[in-house]
Each structure stands twice: as C-alpha cells, then as structure tokens.
A and B are shown apart, each in its own frame.
Chain A
Amino acid sequence: MTEDHSQGGPPVAQPPLAQAPQANFVSPKTVAIYGVLTALTAAITIITVIPFPPTKGYFNLGEAMVFFSALIFGWRAGAICGGVGSAIADVIIGYGYFAPITLTAKGVEGLVTGTIARLNGGKKWSSVLGIFCGGSCMVSIYFLAEVIILDTGIGYALSEMLTVNIPQVAIGGTLGFVLAHYVRKSIRLPK
C-alpha cells in the first residue's frame, strides 16, 4: 500500500481497498440532512427577526424550522436539528449561557412534536396537536429554567414568556405547519 510520491510525482492509485473494517458511522445521508437542517434552523433563527409591537419584544422564525424538521423528518430530526440548531444560533448571536437551556427546550419541543405528529397515522390533527404540545413544553421549560436555574426572577421570566416565547410558538407553529404541508406536496423528499 505504501507508495512514493514525495517528489510530487504522478498520482498512483492504491488497489481498491482491501477489506478493512468499516467505521460504524451514521449514514452519509443522515449526516447531510441533519447537518443541513441544523444549519437552516440556526440561519433562520439568526436572520429572521420580527418585532412584536404590543410588548416591544422581538421574536424569530427559527421555531418554524424546529416544527418543520419534526413534522417531515420525525422526532429524532426534530429533537437534534431543532435543539442543536437553535442552540448554535444562541451561541453565535451571543446568548451562549442560554444554549444549554435552548438545547433542552427546543430539543424536547422537536421530540414531542415529532412523536405526537406521527400518532394516528400522521393525520393533520396529529400535527396540530403535536405542535401545540411541543410548543407548550418549550415555553414551560424556558420559564422554569429562567426562574429556577438562571434565577432571573419571575418578572423577567414572565415578560420573556409573554413577549417572545408565546408569540414565537404561535407564529412559528403556523408557519412550520404550512411549510411542511407545501414541501410534502411539492418535492420528492430524500428518504
């Protein structure tokens, strides 16, 4: 197998691999899809920021991708891509200390949504219920974590819940649902 081309000589091909033991990695398709969904979740979280005038809060549409991933690719993708993607976004825009909480909150959100959406043969109402339950989990985890772990005080946690998290879930959930509907109809999905 050793070959000498230290002089930058012409490429010498090895014989096709001897039967070396293969790595037991997840499939390349999984790496690609999870990597891309995670990136898209993070990118959307970072750049689609919408102000919420009634309370002067800001929220983003990253939620839509968490729900989308969960509805289309199942609970595992929802949990991993939603959780990790949102956590990366937190780290990148400077809420790093929030990342572990986000990872949990959005991870659970994706997991719950994906699981419930597949019940009852994946009917439309299962998706809606899934989004509702997933979203509720996310909002509660954030609230509890802020009060108990970060100790930000009930005031801050409550204002965050009302001005950011609840509108974000409501709008993100709707968008995620619509997105999944369109994408399921219009393109052939990689399996």
Chain B
Amino acid sequence: MYALKMSGVSFVYEGAEGHALDDISVSIDEGEFVTVLGANGAGKTTLAMLSNGLIPHAIKGTLEGSVKVFGYDISKHTVAQLSTLVGMVFQEPESQLFCMSVEEEVAFGPENLAIPRDELFKRVEWALDLVGLKGLNERSPATLSGGQKQRLAIAAALAMRPKMLVLDEPAYALDPVGRIELYALLRSLTEKHGMAVLLMDRDSENILEFSDKVVLMNSGRILTVAPPSEILRDIRNFRAIRVPPPQIFEIASLLNSRLTGVDFSFTTLDEAEAELLSRVPSLPRRGDTR
C-alpha cells in the first residue's frame, strides 16, 4: 500500500492569486525515505500540510485532486484522526513546542487521543529513547539546543505512533553536525521501524546518503522524481529548482566545464579521490594515507 498518494492535486490559498501547488501527482511507499527539494516558494510547505490534512481542514483554499494517506482520504478525516497515521514536524523549533516540560510535550498528543495512563508512560519513554532524549523528562523545552528541540518535536509526533513522518525543513536552523544527526535519526526510523519519511528540504548536501527517492519541485510543480543517484547525474536538475547542488558534485561539474577531455561523475568524497587520482598520474605520490 502507498503511504501517501497524491493524484492531480492543485491548491490555491484563500485570497491568493497563483497556484501554490499545480497538478501534483506523487506517491510514497511504506518505509520509504523521500526528500522533496525546492527553493523558497516551491510549494514544499503546502505539500507537507496536505499530507496530514492541515490543508484543507485548518487552512482554507481551493483544493483539487485527491490525497490519500494509507488509503484514507484526507478530506474525509479530521487532522486529529490523521495524526495517528501522519506525524508532523515544522520548521520553526521554538513555536511547535508549547509545553513546560519535555515529558508533557511528548505526552500531549497521546493524551488527546485518550490513551490509557500506563500506556502513556511507555510511549513517552519509548519516544524519548528513540530520539536520544532519554532522561531529560523534566527539562523545559525552551532550554534545549536547536537539534534537541527538533528531536523533541519528532518524539512528540512519534508518541502518537504514526506510520509516516512529514518534516518541513526541520534542519533549517541547525548546524551541519546537528543536521546529519537529525537525518541519521530519520533514516533509522525507516530502517528499524518501517516508517515512511517525507522530508522537505532546500539543502541537497546529504540526499544521496539518506534518501531513497528525491522529488524536485519548483513554483508549485514537480519537475522530476528519481533516486538520488539519478538526480546527481545532471547539474541542470539543481539549476532548475534554484537549489545549490552538493559541493562535491559542483566541483565535478566545474572541472568538466573548465577542462577539456575529462568527464568527472563523482558524487562522494571516495569517488572523487579515485577519479581525480586516476587523472593525475604524472605526479609523485605520498604513501597511502588511507
């Protein structure tokens, strides 16, 4: 079964002129890690909010086409009902954490779902353990670091036991290390727990390592859907969506454009080393450092 299936979806915000989404069709399998890449205004947030029913239930506008999560039509179920299928994490870490302790934050969702009390304790411990915040139960969310805040937001979503997690640029405010930790956590959710992950991002640096599938979006349309290795074959993919490509890939295409007679295609550091060394055979080598 598809985790998420959108067919022919268009959306115009109430009071807005243009289409925020224009004839989108995309599907995500269960247990799949999908990254949606696009610049500001590409429609990523709209796409995210459609997947758990915030659009059209909380945010008004004209919606065409059908959106189904795990077979359920989002327009026929409330956001609260869908919350047990789709967990949502927003970009801004501060404003989505509204409780006075970490523990309450995680328990908030399940409490609303009227989960029995002893089960609540289990869920909170389970979710905090999963995101690596175990033992911080009594801390105030406001005092956590940026990375911890986002992981807490993930735990709060996980505690409702969804089968898919949707994240709208969760790593935007994080440093590179925090970002990789966050992506690794998401990857482990797909691998160990079979969850689907839909990640909205405008940072292409880590897509190869973590995603199964990449969706390229620009001004409300989907340009390409392909595995990351395929996306990385052509730098024009990135120009089209106004997102900088991974730096290593940029170097390859820079070299290709400046030098004649080469065609570098490396996408990782290891590949780069191998290809570059094979092209400069004339220089003496130091001992094998690796």
Contact = CB atoms under 8 A, between A and B. Distances in A.
- Direct A/B contact, Cβ within 8 angstroms: yes
Contacts, number: 43
Interface residues of B, number: 26
Contact of A5 (B114, B122, B192, B195): B122
Given A5-B122, A8-B129, A20-B114, A13 B84 contact: yes
A17 B158 contact: no
Contact of B193 (A11, A15, A16, A20): A11
Contacts of B80: 17, 22
Given A13-B163, A17-B84, A5 B126 contact: yes
A12 to B, nearest CB: 6
B81 interface: yes
B163 A16 contact: no
The interface residues of chain B, by DSSP majority, are classed as loop
A6 B122 contact: yes
B85 interface: yes
B162 interface: yes
Interface string B170-208: 000000000000000000000011110000000000000
A53 interface: no
Contacts of A10: 192-194
The interface residues of chain A, by DSSP majority, are classed as loop
A16 B72 contact: yes
B192 A17 contact: no
Nearest to B69: A16
Given A5-B126, A16-B72, A17-B113, A11 B195 contact: yes
B89 interface: no
A189 B21 CA distance: 23
Contacts of B58: 28-29
Given A10-B194, A13-B163, 9 more contacts: A5-B126, A10-B193, A11-B161, A11-B195, A13-B70, A13-B162, A14-B161, A16-B82, A17-B78
Interface of B: 15, 58, 70, 72, 77-78, 80-82, 84-85, 98, 113-114, 122, 125-126, 129, 158, 161-163, 192-195
Interface of A: 5-6, 8, 10-17, 20, 22, 28-29, 35, 188
